[in-house]
Structure 1
Amino acid sequence: MNVTRPLRKAALPALLTATALLALPGCGTSGDDGATGSGAGSTVTVRIPDPGNSGVLALGKKDGSLDKALGKVGAKVRWTGSAGPFAPAAQAMNADQLDIATGSITSGITSLAQRPGFKFFTAVAPDAAGEGILVRDGSGIESVADLVGRKVAVNQGGTGEYLLLKALAKAGIPADRVERVYLRPDQTAAVFNAGKVDAWAVWATYAVAEIGSGKARFVADGTAIGSDNYSLNAVRTDFAEQHPEVVKALYRYLHEASAEEKRDPAAYLNVFTDVGPTAVTGRAKEVQTGFTAQGGTVDPIGPEDITRFKGVAAFYAEQKVTRTEVDVAAHLLDIEKLT
């Protein structure tokens, strides 16, 4: 969903902003669990954040292919809110305001620590090329060691904080020797470009524009960091229990579409418009298509993935991001066994 080694790059933006949640039209506790009508002929409505201008869901929305795929199992999409961070999306699923969301394993772990009402059902392996620690050209920062005594922008408990802590741990640098500046990702670019922070631990959604500008680069990317930051699709638990065939149909669509996106990344950019703030143009377009081509596909969660999830959860507990080690395995669905 911005379904954007074996690497499976996420191409689906990660979910609802808190502001959007407050304004979700027609969203509240659904007495019929998202279904419309009654009886055997009723249609199941799947509530998914609007995908914006790029990615497999954007194209699926424009050409109707997603509704066609879901229509085979008696379902359709209701686009609601807008794409943004996973934490508020998790809250929306817990409140029965959303059925599907996308986020990283890192933000997922912190959300799982809060009495979750959702489970993860797909995995996209870490984006080794598109995430990392971003620095401005001319900053004098040439290695992770050069971050000592500096300020690094991160999103608290999510991908940014994980990437920074992981990079420091790999370099043998105590975490308290670098100042973490907690900022929302959508508010960080201006702070970073104004020089108010020295670096930004970030992922492709926000890194592409900065790298595309020619004024910033990764001092360490996901490969150098050794990132296990998977992208995951989550489903509201009650929805999965009541409509397993819809979840399976959605998985099949995302799997096939993400494979197509990997083969032809440009076809999934600027789906609705190639101008304005949502368009990816110029050098940034080249950067994005390169990241996507190096990425992977939406796949079922396998045993090797679970082992790596456990490693991330243990790392978060060691770093005091979570108070205890979160049991991620207890909140996973085997899509191939879902009935």
Structure 2
Amino acid sequence: MKHFLSGSRKRITSGLFATSLLFVGACSTPSADSGTGEAAAGGGSGETIRIAIGTQDQVINTAVGGATVRELELLEKHLPTDGKYEGVEYDIQWSSYTSGPPITNKMLADQIDIGLMGDFPAVINLIKFQQEAQDANSIFIGTLAYSPNGAGNAVVVPKGSDATSLADLKGGTVSVPFGSAAHGMVLKALSDAGIDPETDVKLISQAPEVGGSSLRTGQIDAHADFVPFGELFPFRGFAKKIFDGAQTGVPTLHGIVVRSDFAEEHPEIVVAYLEAVLEANQIFREDPEGTSAQIEEWSGIDKEVVYMFLGPSGLQPLDPTIREVQVSALKNSIATLTSLGKIETPVDPEEVTGWIDESYLRQAMEDMGLNYDEVIETAESYQITGEDALTGEEITDPKLAAQYWVQEEEQVTNFASIPNMLQALATLQEEGKAADVMFVHDRENGWKLFAENSYYVSNGDEVSAFLLQSDAQTYATESGGQVTAFRGLQEIYARRPSALVGAL
């Protein structure tokens, strides 16, 4: 990972622990000029404007609007250079943290202008500015990525744990980054499961890399976290997921907040940043595998996990707009935090609409010749398409599609059905090759899943995947099929002759 960006005015600091065994941190010395100052007021040749952006490199939802914009120098490309900005020098300061609360603290201290964070930290950010800041408010100006049902947040346990549900955690120790989107999720999930977060479990605060280490060493019974750790830790082989945020059915997001004084003084810069985000989204969609590999270099998060979240049929669409589903995520965050006593001064969830301003985003779209509705459609239609690599047939139902990523290959291989992938996988193994990862999709909901960690129902040549064992059992009863594991399916198709398998 690059420790410094090219150019003397680009800096990145890190809020990560230097001793982390799990992640690669980007570290450098913070800028001595942490405030906007007189020079930052803008206007006139030779003056300097600070643009301080706080992101979370290891949080995949912020990787495109953060690391990708930073490393590809997209903000520099879109910054204004004429009018009052003619001759201006830009002091671009990037800093990375393991969660949203530290970004809020630095925004309140006027050390960060633009912050990238999840829904729960974002509403805390907005509330803190309303209640504590004297000279500015915080504005929610755009979405980075989101899930309409809560996919991305998760609870994991050590791989060898006997726990299979939240009920099994009663009396145990559960860690979570306090103040994060995962914190709100686990509080609600435990309460919904009849477990009192205050008395039935010992809830402690741990950053993702600390939680991962604690899982490895058996110091905790479970760890709750946000994107991408609920998938990353199982992918790395030392944890298993027992609860997925999608089970809540409650939308979640990561988005962008900005200090109101900065936005009012430099609206053109805010628009330029959003133009950079829009371009970064386009770059990712044009080459999801290549950009995922780059993000792995910049963040330390495996490219397969990046692709799982942001690639076609991924868990978190890259949609910058702020529509009802995103507003609902913010409102629900306030309601949940209030009901659990985590907000000292009561706040009406409806107030969040007054803290949102989409005008900067709409201006960015207009400047780039993009249509608002088409941007939404592009994000929502970003699904697996094309031809089946085994049969050549058209892939028509992404929920039934399967994929694998072969070691050393640059592109993911797509199949119209799970049986087709299994047949191709058997041939691949006969040739002495291997896949780094295999993806399937929940038949009912379309969620992208790791093939080896999913539940299946086999009914003749039809194979369907499910996130939850209970859903698989229900479908098996309804369809007359049989619940099976991925390894069992592999053994079946390894014994079959190398013939084409029809699409489902």
TM-score, structure 1 normalization: 0.80
Map 1:111-190; keep pairs closer than 5 Å.
Answer: 111-114=125-128, 115-116=132-133, 117-123=137-143, 124-126=145-147, 128-175=150-197, 176-190=199-213
Q: Which has the larger radius of gyration?
A: 2
Between stretches 105-114 and 155-164, larger displacement belongs to 105-114
- Residue 319 of structure 1: how far off its partner (Å): 0.7
Cα pair 1:47 1:98 within 8 Å, conserved? yes
Which residue does the alignment assign to 1:329? 353
Counterpart of 1:48 (choices 42, 49, 53) is 53
Matched, 1:30 2:36: yes
Which stretches in structure 1 are left out of the alignment for 5+ residues? 1-14
List per-residue Cα deviations over 1:121-168 (Å, max 9, x = no partner): 112323844321111222111122222222110122222321211212
- Which letter maps to 2:357? L
**Structure 1 pair 337/109, CA: closer, same or farther in 2 (3 Å)?**
closer
Cα pair 1:134 1:199 within 8 Å, conserved? yes
Q: Matches of 2:300 and 2:105 in 1, distance apart?
A: 29
Counterpart of 2:226 (choices 179, 196, 203) is 203
Which residue does the alignment assign to 2:334? 313
- Root mean square deviation, CA, Å: 3.4
- Residue 257 of structure 1: how far off its partner (Å): 1.8
**Structure 1 pair 318/16, CA: closer, same or farther in 2 (3 Å)?**
farther
**Structure 1 pair 312/64, CA: closer, same or farther in 2 (3 Å)?**
closer
- Which letter maps to 1:120? F
- Residue 259 of structure 1: how far off its partner (Å): 4.3
Which stretches in structure 2 are left out of the alignment for 5+ residues? 1-12, 18-25, 364-504
Cα pair 1:18 1:88 within 8 Å, conserved? no
Between stretches 118-127 and 153-162, larger displacement belongs to 118-127
**Structure 1 pair 131/279, CA: closer, same or farther in 2 (3 Å)?**
same
Which residue does the alignment assign to 1:229? 252
Between stretches 110-119 and 308-317, larger displacement belongs to 110-119
Instruction: Say which SS state the counterpart of residue 121 (structure 1) adopts.
Output: strand
Q: Matches of 2:281 and 2:361 in 1, distance apart?
A: 22
- Residue 223 of structure 1: how far off its partner (Å): 0.8
Instruction: Say which SS state the counterpart of residue 156 (structure 2) adopts.
Output: strand
- Which letter maps to 1:320? G
- Which letter maps to 2:154? G
- Residue 242 of structure 1: how far off its partner (Å): 1.0
Which residue does the alignment assign to 2:109? 95
Provide the identity percentage: 24
Q: Matches of 2:324 and 2:110 in 1, distance apart?
A: 30
- Which letter maps to 1:97? Q
User: Which one scores higher on RCO, CA 8 angstroms, separation ≥ 6?
Assistant: 1
- Which letter maps to 1:226? G
Which residue does the alignment assign to 2:262? 239
Matched, 1:296 2:314: no
Q: Matches of 1:338 and 1:129 in 2, distance apart?
A: 27
Cα pair 2:139 2:355 within 8 Å, conserved? yes
